[in-house]
A = this chain, B = another copy of it.
Amino acid sequence: MNKRENIEQLSINFDLYTGKSSDLHSIKRMLSDMERLYYDNKAFRKEVESNDIIVYEYYILEIPATPENLLYGTTILYPGKVGNEYFMNKGHFHQILNTSEVYYCLRGEGYLLMEDPEGEVLIAKINPGTSVYVPPRFAHRCINVSKNEPLISFYSCRADAGHDYKTIEIKGFRKLIIEERGKPKIINNPNWE
């Protein structure tokens, strides 16, 4: 069989239960990397100082950033809260705004929160087996509402899409998902600029 070296690069394992790859290193985001993203900054400071844990990790492949290639991998978002706001990832627009993304949930329970620059908001509930389409132009963020299980998804997008984290770091999302009486509730972000 020819091209063994290529075959190994083309095949990458992402465990269906843990989301982890034995072939790659993940990018890890600690709570302290999430400065300004949770609405309750007092609760955030307290958490970071007492227990700066990992909030999520994800895999990014080294694939040339061209429109004919695709990026893909898993994201693993751990359960937890900052005050009454559920753990989430930073979320981002694509640098090439007019590109899309697909999520396919492997495990856990949560939401995919999306909004476009004009303020249209889309919110999709995700469970194992749910695919969610992030339409072109929509920023996207995962929120884990489970008490004890990670939220694990496989994702794919165009390799040249790029990440614009800055807009969200500055403005935030228009909506937040908090826990109220033990259940997820969608509220307006009081800090949205």
**Which one of A31-39, A82-90, A97-105 is at the B interface?**
A97-105
Copies of this subunit: 2
Q: How large is the interface on A (under 10, 10 to 19, 20 to 34, 35 or more residues)?
A: 35 or more
Query: CA separation between A180 and B138, bound complex, in Å?
Result: 51
Given contacts A67-B67, A68-B100, A121-B3, contact A126 B11 (CB under 8 A): yes
Interface CB pairs A-B, < 8 A, 25: A1-B123, A2-B121, A3-B122, A6-B122, A10-B124, A11-B131, A12-B130, A12-B131, A13-B131, A14-B129, A14-B131, A16-B16, A16-B129, A67-B158, A68-B100, A68-B136, A68-B158, A69-B100, A69-B136, A70-B100, A70-B101, A70-B157, A72-B104, A154-B154, A156-B156
Binding site for B on A (CB under 8 A): 1-3, 6-7, 9-16, 61, 63, 67-70, 72-73, 98-102, 104, 106, 120-126, 128-136, 154, 156-158, 186
